[in-house]
Amino acid sequence: MTVEVAQSRRSKRVATGVVATVLRSLVEIGAAIKAFFRASNPASVGRRTESAAVETEGVATSQIPAHAEVEADAGISPIAHNELSQQEIERRRSLVRALFSDFWRGAHDKPVAFVERLDRAEDYLNERLAASGEFWRLDANTRVTLGLPPRNEGRKTTSP
């Protein structure tokens, strides 16, 4: 093998690696943007057929009135607000409800207590939430926020 052929192959491998890294980064950025718009505009979840550009334009135009005045020194606050709107809480509850039903669909030996069924489904729910691009997980705080019962710590539960 000549030196030129070896260098050409190495260059192609390096270029392929760089392209793969860039594409992976773009996919991650896209997922983050999607999660951001889903969190900031819960109504957009139901409009999955519309393009992201239309959703972005809708958020930008519907939340800021045309006559609004913006102060020059009005910056972005570094403090995250943990308060969720009632609409977002309902969206999350319905998502948990749907995933919970998927988990137990077809199972014949369901526990009698709802708390135990929820505890057994929690890992599955969190996996599905992550796979769907949600940034939040079902944990003790989320259960309180969504009005779900706290985890039953008395027994260790297993998946069905």
pLDDT of residue 33: 75
Residues 6+ apart with CB under 8 A from 122: 138, 151
pLDDT of residue 47: 44
User: Are residues 96 and 102 in contact, defined by beta-carbon separation less than 8 angstroms?
Assistant: no
User: Are residues 136 and 142 in contact, defined by beta-carbon separation less than 8 angstroms?
Assistant: yes
Q: What is the pTM of this model?
A: 0.46
Whole-angstrom distance, CA of residue 121 vs CA of residue 26 = 32
pLDDT band of 108, cuts 50, 70, 90: confident
Work out whether the CA dihedral 44, 46, 51, 54 comes out positive or negative.
Answer: negative
Q: What is the largest CA-CA distance in the chain?
A: 72
pLDDT of residue 27: 75
Q: How far is CA 48 from CA 20, 55, 65, 131, 159, in A?
A: 28, 9, 25, 16, 32
Mean pLDDT on 119-132: 94
Helices (H), 41-113: 52-63, 86-104
pLDDT of residue 60: 43
Residue 119 has pLDDT above 90, yes or no: yes
Q: What is the dihedral of CA 45, 51, 54, 59, to 10 degrees?
A: 30
